[in-house]
Amino acid sequence: MPVMNMIGALNDALKIEMRRDSRVVLLGEDVGKLGGVFRVSVDLLKEFGSDRVIDTPLAEAGIIGTAIGMALYGLRPVPEIQFSDFIFPAYDQIVNELAKYRYRSGGQYTCPVTIRTPVGGGIRGGHYHSQSPETLFVHIAGLKVVIPSNPYDAKGMLLSAIRDEDPVLFMEPKRIYRAAKGDVPEGDYTVPLGKAAVLREGSDVTLVSYGAMVHTVMEAAEAMSSNGGPSTEVIDLRSLVPLDTETMIASVQKTGRVVVVHEAPKTSGFGAELIAQINEKAFLSLQAPPVRVTGFDTPFPYTLENEYLPDVGRIKEAVDHVMSF
Amino acid sequence: MTLELMQVISNQGVANRDIEPAIPDQDLLKLYRMMVLNRQLDERMMKLQRQGRIGFYLQSMGEEATTIGTAYALEQKDWIFPCYREPGAAFVRGFKLVDFVCQLIGNAGDPVKGRQMPNHYVFKAGNYTSVSSPVGTQIPQAVGAAWASKILKEPVVVLVYFGEGATSEGDFHVGLNFAGVFKTPNIFICRNNGYAISVPRSRQTASESIAIKAKAYGISGVMVDGNDILAVIRATRDAAERARKGEGATLIECVTYRQGAHSSSDDPRVYRPEDELEQSVQGDPIVRFRKYLEERKLWNASQDEALQEEVKQEILNAIAEAEKNGPPPIETMFDDVFAELTPNLQEQKQYLLDYRKRHPASEVE
């Protein structure tokens, strides 16, 4: 089985789906000749031509607005927003149009659009190349939101997303675009949207995360385990909408303790929703109050980004806290 | 570049033979009937709104030539992206009056299942997409659909409506810019009716016209008398022909007048002089078209009287038919968020149904 990084796995998925389904078109800023600023669509223009791999004018609302029209007409557009920090000119098109078309048309129309966009910090990109705005999209009825953490999931989930009958915001953790490597099967396979992965089984504490933070959480979990620390179970949510509540609740019922880790700011971050659900559904199993390890309620800082992002030390301390409660 | 206002029928009802579009007599009478129906429908629905039988209404009074003429000039395979003041275009496409009224009520017969406030209908069978309240969002979408038709090499043209207020939105710029760059088969219909709720056209742009903006996007621009249905048809046919031949998009500014209020919630007496309305009524699109038909001996007063009565009955029948429906079933609220219910939606649906079993709506006051 070939070893790939996230970029290679995503490129492979696009190639497979574009060969399989002639309705799939890519559009965005620099996605054609350049192959995307992160090279995810590299070489696709050569194979599929400029009608299917389209360099657009520089306008996010136009990219998403036209993608909606293409989808209504019967294509399967995969627009790219170069950084999720730049997605907001298209926010109205996403919130009121893309996500609502099926519902507001009484099911007459669907909008199968997969928006790919890099997300997260750790690349020395400052505020405008580092944000994690996922909860601003999770709150939108009618939009699926997913974030893979490794090449295998990235490929399988992107294939699922493009084949989905509904719009999907496909967030790609840019910090691990090249750093995360792994075995990726050749050819076609899918990873379902809405299923969490238990990456590590354990009995004392459940660690819930997604995206690039999964790697930091795994590092912390393994360090604790090799030092005779608590036995941790690690859950990679992979998909925020739909959410696999069942897997998370089953784990918390087993361990009785939970730490949620994400890069996004703390207040109303996705951890708030996760802990609310844990309180509603597993309160009597809890042996300690759930704890969040997150980014701060500040704009994303440039020089001090490593202070902002949760690290192994903060995660270990949070685990110690719930263990000693 | 200065654009002249294209007019076919003079205020006296006489057509300029040089540019008069070829239309079978039978179709001329159908168009007239549709305009009369649209006008009476507006009057009747405003009454229904005042009686509390529907919650809200948007009239298209005064703009019937623009909405019906543009839609008539297309082929049935062409697509229409509406704004919200073009029921006339939907009727041209075959949208049933009873479905229109069901949508206004939001009942179980409503094709959009009571999901949207009045006047937000969808008619997929007629390639007529969904009405949206946010202004201008449909413009880039229409460009995307036209672009798709071009990529798929289908001879389908996509027409999109918006008001002159929408031309101030970013989506107008974005849409026309993409249309110019990708030479999409689009027709942009700006219903310049003078007002965006209370704000006059002069507050939207300092440009001498809306149509002239086409120049900067590298597309064609035309300005027509929007109260002259033959001029509207002529301009739209020309634009459709250019689009179908691969010659790109056209922006058509239809200069018209919003005779009614913005909506049933609006009172134009606060912001515009009443004599302005009187002047505009002289240029009423229905009156003008009737003069033309009379001039051509296709129509007379007694036929008109009979038609008014026939249309009135048709509307009353549609209302009676529509009002037979009850509200949509509660459980339908959770359908069509996605193709399938997600676990949280399943849970919330079950909760609501159980709650309603414990506390029937009729008992809660």
Q: What value does the mean pLDDT take over residues B139-152?
A: 98
Contacts of B335 in chain A (CB under 8 A): 107
Question: Residue B359 is encoded by which pair of tokens?
Answer: 């506390």
**Among B83, B104, B46, residue whose Cα is nearest residue B266:** B46
The pLDDT value given to residue B283 = 85
Contact (Cβ atoms closer than 8 angstroms) between residue A129 and residue A123: yes
Helix, coil or strand: residue B191? strand
Q: How far is B71 from chain A (nearest CA, A)?
A: 19
pLDDT over threshold 50, residue B345: yes
Pairwise CB contact (< 8 Å): B147 & A70: yes
- Residue A51 touches partner B, C-beta closer than 8 Å: yes
pLDDT, residue B255, reads 95
Q: What is the pLDDT of residues A181-221, one digit of tens each?
A: 999 999 999 999 999 999 999 999 999 999 999 999 999 99
| ipTM associated with this complex | 0.96
A298 touches chain B (CB under 8 A): no
Q: How far apart are CA B144 and CA B178, in angstroms?
A: 9
Q: What is the mean pLDDT of residues A121-137?
A: 96
3-state secondary structure of B190: strand
Is the separation of the CB atoms in B193 and B258 below 8 Å? yes
pTM of the model: 0.97
User: Cα–Cα distance between B243 and B238 in angstroms, integer?
Assistant: 9
Q: What pLDDT sits at residue B317?
A: 98
pLDDT tens digits, A161-170: 999 999 999 9
Q: What are phi and psi of A170, to 5 degrees?
A: -105, 100
Residue A130 burial (CB count, 10 A): 28
CB atoms within 10 A of CB B75: 11
For residue range A62-81, what is the model confidence (pLDDT) as tens digits? 999 999 999 999 999 999 99
Q: What is the mean pLDDT of residues B76-99?
A: 98
Neighbours of A303 (CB within 10 A): 8
Q: Is the confidence at residue B112, as pLDDT, over 70? A: yes
Closest C-alpha among A149, A170, A166, A167 to residue A158: A170
A47-61 pLDDT, tens digit each: 999 999 999 999 999
- What is the percentage of chain B residues whose pLDDT exceeds 70? 98
Give me the mean pLDDT over the B329-345 stretch: 97
Residue found by looking up tokens 């620099």 in the block:
A30
Task: Measure in Å the smallest separation between the Cα of A50 and chain B Cα atoms.
Answer: 10
Interface of A with B in 120-149 (CB under 8 A): 141-142, 144
Q: Which of A6, A1, A9, A53 is nearest to A29 (CA)?
A: A53
Sort out which chain A residues have CB atoms less than 8 A from B338's CB and list them: 102, 142, 144, 165-166, 242
Confidence label for B365 from pLDDT (cuts 50, 70 and 90): very low
* DSSP per position, B213-234: GHHHHTSEEEEEETT-HHHHHH
Radius of gyration of chain B from its Cα atoms, rounded to whole angstroms: 21
**Residue B258 bears catalytic tag:** yes
Residue B280 is predicted with a pLDDT of 67
pLDDT for A129 beyond 50: yes
Strand partners, B200: B195
Give contacts of B115 with chain A, Cβ < 8 Å.
103-104, 106
> Which one is catalytic: B44, B262, B288, B290?
B262
| Residue B86: closest CA among B73, B70, B97, B106 | B70
SS3 of chain A: the string is CCEEEHHHHHHHHHHHHHHHCCCEEEEECCCCCCCCCCCCCCCHHHHHCCCCEEECCCCHHHHHHHHHHHHHHCCEEEEECCCHHHCHHHHHHHHHHHCCHHHHCCCCCCCCCEEEEEECCCCCCCHHHCCCCCHHHHCCCCCEEECCCCHHHHHHHHHHHHHCCCCEEEEEEHHHCCCCEEECCCCCCCCCCCCCEEEECCCCEEEEECCCHHHHHHHHHHHHHHCCCCCEEEEECCEEECCCHHHHHHHHHHHCCEEEEEEEECCCCHHHHHHHHHHHHHHHHCCCCCEEEEECCCCCCCCCHHHHCCCHHHHHHHHHHHHHC
- Band of the pLDDT at A24, cuts 50, 70, 90? very high
Nearest to B143 among A69, A103, A246 (CB): A69
Instruction: Please write the tens of the pLDDT for every residue from B287-301.
Output: 999 999 999 999 999
Could B129 and A70 be called an inter-chain contact, meaning their C-beta atoms sit closer than 8 Å?
Answer: no
Q: Which of B258, B288, B290, B292 is catalytic?
A: B258
Q: DSSP assignment, residue B248?
A: -
- Given a cut of 70, is residue A99 above it in pLDDT? yes
- From A238's Cα to the closest Cα of chain B, the distance in A is 15
- Which pLDDT score, from 0 to 100, does residue B3 have? 78
Whether the CB of A277 is below 8 Å from some CB of chain B: the reply is no
- For residue A317, give every residue at least 6 positions away whose Cβ sits within 8 Å of its Cβ, in sequence order, or none: none
Paired with B74 in beta bridges are: none
Tell me: pLDDT of B1 over 60. no
Residue B362 has pLDDT above 80, yes or no: no
Helix (H, G, I), strand (E, B) or coil at B350: helix
What pairing do the DSSP bridges indicate for beta strands A24-28 and A76-80? parallel
Average pLDDT rounded to a whole number, residues A260-266: 98
Run of H or E including B253: strand B250-255
- Residue A129 is among the residues annotated as catalytic for this protein: yes
Work out how many CB contacts closer than 8 A connect A with B.
151
The predicted pLDDT at position B275 comes to 84
Whether residues B147 and A56 touch (CB distance < 8 A) is answered with no
* pLDDT value at B258 more than 90: yes
A182: distance to nearest CA of chain B, Å?
Answer: 30
> Mean pLDDT, to the nearest integer, of B109-132?
97
